[in-house]
Chain A
Amino acid sequence: MIEVDNLHKKFGKNQVLSQLDLRIEAGGIFAVLGPNGSGKTTLIKSILGMVVPNKGSISVLGKSIRNNWKYRQEIDYLPQIANFPGNLKVKELIRMIKDLRQKASNEHELIRLFMLEPFLDKKLGTLSGGTKQKVNIVLTFMFDSPLIILDEPTTGLDPASLIKLKELLLKEKNNGKTILITTHIMQFVEEMADGIVYLLEGKIYFKGTIKELMAKTEQNDFEHAIAAISTYTTDA
Chain B
Amino acid sequence: MLKILKYSFYDLMRSRWSYVYFLFYLALGFVLLFLNNDLSKAVITLMNVIIVLVPLISTIFGVMYFYNSREFTELLLAQPLKRTSIFLGQYFGVASSLTLSLILGLGIPFVLYGLFRSEAIWDFSLLLITGAFLTLIFTVLAFIIALANENRIKGFGYAVLLWLFLAVIYDGLFLLSLILFEEYPLDNYSLVAITLNPIDLSRTLILLKLDISALLGYTGAVFKSYFGTRMGLFISIGMLLLWTILPIWRLAYMSKRKDF
Contact = CB atoms under 8 A, between A and B. Distances in A.
Given A85-B11, A99-B3, A79 B80 contact: no
Nearest to B3: A100
Contacts of B82: 69
Nearest to B14: A87
A26 to B, nearest CB: 20
Interface in B211-260: 256-260
Nearest to B260: A50
Interface in B73-89: 74-83
A73 interface: yes
A144 B256 CA distance: 28
A11 B76 contact: no
A50 B79 contact: no
B118 interface: no
Interface in B39-81: 69-72, 74-81
Interface string B100-140: 00000000000000000000000000000000000000000
Contacts of B77: 48-50
A220 to B, nearest CB: 39
Contacts of A100: 3, 76, 79-81
Interface residues of A, number: 26
A45 B70 CA distance: 16
Contacts of B257: 52
Given A83-B74, A87-B14, A51 B260 contact: yes
A86 B258 CA distance: 24
B109 to A, nearest CB: 30
A85 B71 contact: yes
Given A70-B80, A85-B11, A85-B69, A50 B259 contact: yes
Nearest to B76: A100
Interface in A74-100: 75, 77, 79, 83-88, 96-97, 99-100
Given A72-B79, A99-B3, A100-B3, 17 more contacts: A51-B260, A52-B258, A52-B259, A69-B80, A69-B81, A72-B80, A72-B81, A83-B71, A85-B69, A85-B72, A87-B11, A87-B14, A88-B11, A100-B80, A100-B81, A101-B79, A101-B80
13 contacts: A49-B77, A52-B259, A69-B80, A69-B83, A70-B80, A72-B78, A72-B81, A83-B71, A83-B75, A84-B71, A87-B15, A97-B79, A100-B3
Interface of B: 3, 7, 11, 14-15, 69-72, 74-83, 256-260
